[in-house]
Amino acid sequence: MSIIKLHDKYFKSYISSKQIDEAIQKLVDQTTEDLKDVDTPLFIGILNGSFMFVADFIRKYNSDCEVSFVKLASYEGTNSTGKIKQLVGVNENLEGRTVVILEDIIDTGNTLQEIYQIFEDKKVKQLKIATLFFKPDVFKKALPIDYIGIPIPDKFIVGYGLDYDGIGRNLEEIYQLTTEPKMKNIVLFGPPGAGKGTQAEMLRDKYQLKHISTGEVFRFNIKNETELGKLAKSYMDDGNLVPDEVTINMLKEEVDKNSDANGFIFDGFPRTESQAKALDQFLEEKGERINGMVALEVSEDLLVERLLERGKTSGRSDDQDESKIRNRFVEYNTKTAILKDYYQAQNKYFGANGVGSIPEITERLSQIFDKL
Ligand code: AMP
CB of 211 sitting under 6 A from ligand 1 = no
At 3, the pLDDT band (50, 70, 90 cuts) reads confident
> Cα torsion at 171, 78, 28, 113 (round to 10°)?
-150
Specify whether 59 is catalytic: no
Domain count, the chain: 2
**233 CA to centre of own chain:** 34
**Ligand 1, atom nearest to 251 Cα:** 19
> Which residue CA neighbors atom 10 of ligand 1 most closely?
239
Catalytic residue among 196, 210, 324, 364: 196
Q: Relative to the CA of 270, which ligand 1 atom is closest? A: 19
Q: Are strands 147-151 and 174-178 parallel, antiparallel or unpaired?
A: unpaired
pLDDT in tens, 71-116: 875 445 455 554 544 456 677 789 999 999 999 999 999 889 888 8
Ligand 1: atom nearest CA of 196 is 3
Co-location of 106 and 215 in the same domain: no
In angstroms, the CA 210 to CA 258 distance is: 8
**310 has catalytic annotation:** yes
- Please give the model's pTM, rounded to 2 decimal places: 0.72
Does the active-site annotation cover 316? yes
Rounded mean pLDDT of 128-140?
Answer: 96
pLDDT of residue 83: 52
Q: 257, exposed or middle or buried, with CB in 10 Å at 0-12, 13-18, 19+?
A: exposed
Q: Do residue 133 and residue 233 come from a single domain?
A: no
Same domain for 298 and 168? Answer: no
Is there an atom of ligand 1 within 6 Å of 271 CB? yes
196 belongs to the catalytic site: yes
In this structure, the answer to whether residues 166 and 289 fall within a common structural domain is no
Please indicate, yes or no, whether residues 162 and 133 belong to a single structural domain of this protein.
Answer: yes
β-pairing, 292-297 vs 186-189, is: parallel
Task: Note whether 349 and 254 are same-domain residues.
Answer: yes
Is any ligand 1 atom within 6 A of the Cβ of residue 236? yes
Catalytic residue among 12, 184, 210, 271: 271
Residue 29 near residue 84 (C-beta atoms within 8 A):
no
- Report the Cα 239 to chain-centroid distance in Å: 32
Q: How confident is the model at residue 174 (pLDDT cuts 50, 70, 90)?
A: very high
Q: How many CB atoms lie within 10 A of CB 297?
A: 14
**Domain hosting residue 62, numbered range:** 3-178
Alpha-carbon dihedral angle through residues 19, 21, 23, 28, given to the nearest 10 degrees: -170
Report residue 292's pLDDT band, with 50, 70 and 90 as the boundaries.
very high
Are 33 and 168 in the same domain? yes
Residues 128 and 148 occupy one common structural domain: yes
Q: Which of 127, 147, 178 is the last residue of a domain?
A: 178
